[in-house]
Amino acid sequence: MSVHIIFFPRGSRQCGAPQTSKMNFCEEDYHFTGYVGEFINTLTSLSYVFLGCYALYRQRSRENETQLTHYLSYISLVIVGIGSAAYHATLKYPLQLVDDLSMLLGAGIMFHHVLTINRGTGDQIRLFLLITIVLSLAVWAHIKTGDSALHQIVFGSMVVTVGFRTFKLLKAMISSRNMRSKLRRLATRGYLILIVAYGLWLIDVFACQHLRALRHAIGIPLAWLFELHGWWHILTATGVYIYMLLGEYLQPAYRDQESGGNDGWISILKGPSNVKPKESRTNGCIKKLS
């Protein structure tokens, strides 16, 4: 039996300007309220905003200076969430473009960071210009044709590259074997989360009619558990946050940090400032390594 929320107008009647977006997901439009196009997709988009704002808040407690790249990464995560929520709420084509382009922005920042982490300023500028040109061409093609295939290929290629490159950097740069092992396991979990997210996205696309039938059968609120594009938002936000966090551990100030035996995943996920600095003994005294 469906649960009807009486203080929101339900059904397919739209309260506002008509939809202009060229993409539509499996969630039924204006089904929960006539004021929000895709209610669950809009709500779950805020997971990007939450994790991005949390990470920016963490930077305030840092003893060591945070690189600009990490600020930009987390700001881009917030922008992705705002753009995604605005698009799913209104189903307008200009906001669909904002949603798509913000994804390229976030992936591009991470892509540039992992490829230039040990490079000089000249190499960083050259790669920045190359990435800007490629992304500009992808954006132009997307706007000109309305086809999102090239956008998806460019975005997916950058995400895959960031993942594999991060594994190599962790192996080469993290001096503590215990810490390196924990971070590589975290990277593996992050990659698995992204793979599951992509799988749910595919199911949402190709099994939409079955999902809608199931949701109609069980009704709200249990039906919301089967809004798979919403899970895509939550899982990709989590996976991307993990890889942005791993980039923090690769900063020179944190590469020699040691993880205590009792440091669990919660401590790791809170960032490098919450992990014990590595200690060495010199002339009977304990000295912290910066």
Please give the annotated binding residues for Ca(2+), written as ranges: 27, 38
| Residue 275 to residues 217, 247, 249, 262, Cα–Cα distance (Å) | 48, 15, 10, 11
Q: CA 80 from chain center: how many Å?
A: 8
Instruction: Could you list the residues known to form a binding site for Zn(2+), using ranges.
Output: 88, 229, 233
Give dist(CA 146, CA 176) in Å, integer.
48
Instruction: Could you list the residues known to form a binding site, using ranges.
Output: 27, 38, 88, 229, 233
Give the torsion sign (CA, 189, 190, 196, 199): negative
Helices (H), the chain: 39-59, 68-90, 93-116, 121-145, 149-173, 177-206, 208-218, 228-249, 265-269
Q: What are 43's two structure tokens?
A: 């709500």
One-letter amino acid at 276 equals K
Rounded to the nearest 10 degrees, how much is the dihedral formed by the CA atoms of 261, 59, 48, 161? -70
